Structure 1
Amino acid sequence: MTRPHPPTRQKACFITGSIMRHVLVMAGTGAIGLMAVFAVDMLNMVYIAHLNQAALTAAIGFAGAVIGLQIAVSIGLTIGVSAAVGREIGAGRHEEAKQIASSALLVMFGLSCVLGIGTMLVAHPLLQLFGAQGDALDHATRYLQVVSPFLPLICMGMGFSALMRVVGDAKGSMHITLLGAITAAVLDPIMIFGLHEGLTGAAISTVMSRFVVALVGLMGALRHDMVTWPTLSRVVADARHVGSVATPAILTNLATPVGGVYVTESMARFGLEAVGGQASIERTVPVLFSLVFALTGSVGPIMAQNMGAGFYPRVRETLTAALKLVMLSIGATWLILAVLQNYVVAVFNAQGDAAMLIHLFCSLTIGSYLFVGMLFVANAAFNNLGYPLYSTAFNWGRATLGTIPFVGIGQHYGPAGVQLGQAVGVVVFGTLAVFKAFQVTKNLKHPANHPPAGTIAVSDVPTTSAEAAMADLDEVTAPSTPDQTDGSTKTHV
């Protein structure tokens, strides 16, 4: 009688091979999924803008500020799960990783339910605090009342996606966001134009997309044996373990939308066109810089696994590789947008102050996102190397000292001054964060200065070009297969 094979266990796949290749593959596949999601958000803005109702366009901006706060909490929880589980995987403790992940997901579900329903109940007064009024307030309130109760779906989907990245399944993680984006892309024009539901139609398609993300994510996490029924006696202890990273990460991620709320409120003083122009830019930025945004979630598992395995020089290589990609991505995008800015204005049907803000962004303030990218990468290092309070400090520094005084001064020069003030503040904090991140990685102890047997040193890799790395995508992200002799897992890297 054939003895059944033991369950598949994921080995740490990032502690061997070229760091640059790992970063390119993880960030590249993550960027594809993120770009699809953010492109759908941008298309929502384009669709609504072509209804020629300034109140609807502004409503997206106000509602987006609130949703940004919700997603910031979800991202913080996800970072905590990724860091805690990644270290256990790096140390070869799969069962412990699975138990921690399951406990954390249970807590994530409960917290997101409270946050989502709470937002629905207080949407109207909350939006008033952000400067919304009149028709824009009414439309934004209805949008949030439809979308917010389903926050747990996207929160759980993000958690499942993070677990798949932790075990190296970059393509699987990409498919979660990609399928969600496709769902919204198909339903948006049907709901907004076909059924004439306007902004409410966009909200309904968002909810359906969240259902897809949660379902596909759960299937992927189960396929990798990364979730199980939580052990209730462990939930509190595991939640504290994850919370040691997640709590400061939540505070860190809340800083950006809180700063954004101040900017939105400042723009609201100059009318609906200014708010609409700012909202158009905020929907465009994630699409343009999907690679930069993806780096935050992609380099974390690489750092965490190498941290858990004790290969600290590879942690520093990961930080350097990520920063190189940030500079390349921002520089190329700035050049393209400077040339095509008239087309961007036309796509958003922007007029007056809205058009002026888009031109200013494409010509000048887009350059500030180089420092935003630096801050993101530094935060990923802090969160995964045991210094989450550093990322909290730098993000809140940017959202307060790097935003309020500069935007406050800029208000005296109109909406353009608000945008310029927001751009100037991030330069200081992005630069300081990167210097601190390098200092942290330099001070790591060195119990294992050399990669394990079979590891390819970066200097020995024939090529580190993007083309070569992406050509190896299928090999790097291929599912692990059980060794027929001892039941262990061989990861194809």
Structure 2
Amino acid sequence: MDATTARKAPDEQAPVPRFVVGSTMRHVLVMTGTGTAGLIAIFIVDLISLLYISWLKDPSMTAGVGLATVMMFFTISINVGLMIPIGAMVSRALGARKREEARRLATSGSILMAIVATLVSLIVLPLLPLILHLLGAPEKAYQVAYSFLWICLPTNVLMAFGMAFSTILRAAGDAKRSMYATLSVAAVTIVLDPILIFGLGLNSDGAAMTINISRIAYLYIAYRFVTRNHGLLERPSIPSLRADARPFFAIAIPAILTNIAAPVANFFFTSVMSRFGDQAIAASAIIDRVTPVAFGGLFALAGAIGPVLGQNWGAQRYDRMRQVLKDSLTFTVIYVGCVWLVLFLVRTPLTQAFSAQGLTAELVEFFCELSGLIWFFIGLVFVANASFNNLGFPLFSTFFNWGRATLGMIPFAYYGAQIGGPKGALLGIGVGSIAFGIAAIFTAFWTIRRLERQAKTSL
């Protein structure tokens, strides 16, 4: 099908899009709940993998896996940025009842995402020695991280396809099957990690190999759901790819720039922590794995509200769009408060589970005591960014994420470390997030008012 002819009038016979009717809070909770289940399952197995590595009682190996995670966070963040235009364009087309256009956009977006993911791996792999040295990796930790990444990064393209298909499912409102695809990663990891790490004695390389196998399972299951249950892929064509590349990258480039702010900030923070030795790096690695498990609901919320906003924008339901943001704020307040309490109560057992001692234990416990302050305001930025990316204001998302990651973090973490050591660096992250979180959410409501005014003046 020609890319131009696919852009036709709404199909009045198409079913009413799921998110333009019913309770917005229910849509937010269902999409967030299923997304949280899938994400936390992945994050938990990542946490368990690091737990297994920590049982080898080699802080350098734990530190090495932690450094590898920083680099993988960077590549996955680019993938997440590439998911955003797929979700935004497909959900908006479905909301406007243009199913053929949605199929074309889903196909083109998936292929474009895979191409970029492949290029990222080809660029990053030769630069690993430079990157790991900039992170301040000690010799043994460097060897662990280098080997781990050479095993994992070549399969980034498989992960990209899986994430693209999962995004298409969510854009169609099929949160349940998207969750099932994501859970496949957890299932594979739970079975294979102990076999490869301990049974075959492959240590950290075994954990990396498990990641590759889980990515294959994720891709296969997500593809089957998209094609068999929704028929939202079609035979790709060069004209469609060319036509769709421009709107795709118009959203993707700002979204990628937005998303890589977090790994760049994490890169800086890890380099600060590396000044305090292997125990501080190991603590940072544990915190990096605990954080997404604990606050996975906020990550899921940011992905969940995009399709809901997109479909309602396609249907021009601006009142429902505002309500989605209000519901998201309510969820953020309750969720962060509950998680903060749990982390505070389990802070000591958590350090004992990882056999953390000395400075490592002190830093992990301090993070648990401080986590709510940090993540409430980061959660506000997440919600606002989801709104910006799906409603045609991706540059706002770029501004707030980079603002928080630079002005809101670097000086606070740096001078906090100078004054209070690694604990001061952690405290600095929380303090620096406050202004950007508040400003971002107010701007998100303003963008919806602006879209509504534009729609009224165009009538």
Decide: shared fold, TM above 0.5: yes
| Cα distance in 1, alignment partners of residues 200 and 435 from structure 2 | 48
* Correspondence for 2:58: 53
| Cα distance in 2, alignment partners of residues 429 and 11 from structure 1 | 37
* Secondary structure, counterpart of 1:125 in structure 2: helix
Decide which of 129, 133, 136 is 2:138's aligned counterpart: 133
The amino acid of 2:439's aligned partner reads L
| 1:448/1:110 CA distance change after superposition, 3 Å | closer
Decide which of 231, 234, 245 is 2:237's aligned counterpart: 231
- Give matches, 1:162-181, under 5 Å: 162-181=167-186
- Give matches, 1:62-77, under 5 Å: 62-77=67-82
TM-score, with structure 2 as normaliser: 0.94
Moved over 6 A (4+): 446-449
| Cα distance in 1, alignment partners of residues 133 and 269 from structure 2 | 15
Q: Do structure 1's residue 333 and structure 2's residue 339 form an aligned pair?
A: yes
Decide which of 37, 49, 59 is 1:32's aligned counterpart: 37
* Correspondence for 1:488: none
The amino acid of 2:129's aligned partner reads H
State the percentage of identical aligned residues.
40
Q: Do structure 1's residue 375 and structure 2's residue 381 form an aligned pair?
A: yes
The amino acid of 2:278's aligned partner reads L
* Correspondence for 1:88: 93
* Correspondence for 1:217: 222
| TM superposition shift of 1:340 | 1.6
Q: Do structure 1's residue 440 and structure 2's residue 411 form an aligned pair?
A: no
Is the Cα–Cα contact under 8 Å of residues 309 and 387 in structure 2 kept in the other structure? yes
The amino acid of 1:256's aligned partner reads A
- Give matches, 1:231-310, under 5 Å: 231-310=237-316
Q: Do structure 1's residue 204 and structure 2's residue 209 form an aligned pair?
A: yes
| Cα distance in 2, alignment partners of residues 27 and 446 from structure 1 | 29
The amino acid of 1:347's aligned partner reads A
| Cα distance in 1, alignment partners of residues 18 and 267 from structure 2 | 40
Is the Cα–Cα contact under 8 Å of residues 265 and 405 in structure 2 kept in the other structure? yes
The amino acid of 1:216's aligned partner reads I
- Give matches, 1:401-412, under 5 Å: 401-412=407-418
The amino acid of 1:427's aligned partner reads I
RMSD between superposed Cα atoms in Å: 1.6
| TM superposition shift of 1:133 | 2.6
- Give matches, 1:105-184, under 5 Å: 105-184=110-189
* Correspondence for 2:323: 317
| Cα distance in 2, alignment partners of residues 280 and 25 from structure 1 | 30
* Correspondence for 1:4: none
The amino acid of 1:419's aligned partner reads L
The amino acid of 1:429's aligned partner reads F
* Secondary structure, counterpart of 2:19 in structure 1: coil
| Cα distance in 2, alignment partners of residues 404 and 410 from structure 1 | 10
* Correspondence for 2:356: 350
| Cα distance in 1, alignment partners of residues 438 and 75 from structure 2 | 27
| TM superposition shift of 1:336 | 1.3
| TM superposition shift of 1:307 | 0.3
Is the Cα–Cα contact under 8 Å of residues 136 and 271 in structure 2 kept in the other structure? yes
Q: Note the alpha carbon deviations across 1:328-347, whole angstroms, 9 max, x for none.
A: 11100111111121111111
* Secondary structure, counterpart of 2:392 in structure 1: coil
Is the Cα–Cα contact under 8 Å of residues 337 and 372 in structure 2 kept in the other structure? no
| Cα distance in 2, alignment partners of residues 441 and 448 from structure 1 | 11
| TM superposition shift of 1:447 | 9.1
* Secondary structure, counterpart of 1:222 in structure 2: helix
| Cα distance in 1, alignment partners of residues 331 and 428 from structure 2 | 26
| Cα distance in 2, alignment partners of residues 61 and 410 from structure 1 | 22
| TM superposition shift of 1:124 | 2.1
Decide which of 164, 178, 187 is 2:192's aligned counterpart: 187
Is the Cα–Cα contact under 8 Å of residues 340 and 371 in structure 2 kept in the other structure? no
Q: Note the alpha carbon deviations across 1:57-116, whole angstroms, 9 max, x for none.
A: 111221111111101110000001110111111111010111111111111111111212
Equivalent residues, number? 443
| 1:167/1:11 CA distance change after superposition, 3 Å | farther
| TM superposition shift of 1:448 | 8.9
| Cα distance in 2, alignment partners of residues 38 and 10 from structure 1 | 35
| Cα distance in 2, alignment partners of residues 447 and 308 from structure 1 | 14
* Correspondence for 1:464: none
Moved more, 325-334 or 121-130: 121-130
Is the Cα–Cα contact under 8 Å of residues 74 and 263 in structure 2 kept in the other structure? yes
Q: Extract unaligned runs of 5+ from structure 1.
A: 1-7, 450-493
- Give matches, 1:463-478, under 5 Å: none
Is the Cα–Cα contact under 8 Å of residues 312 and 448 in structure 1 kept in the other structure? no
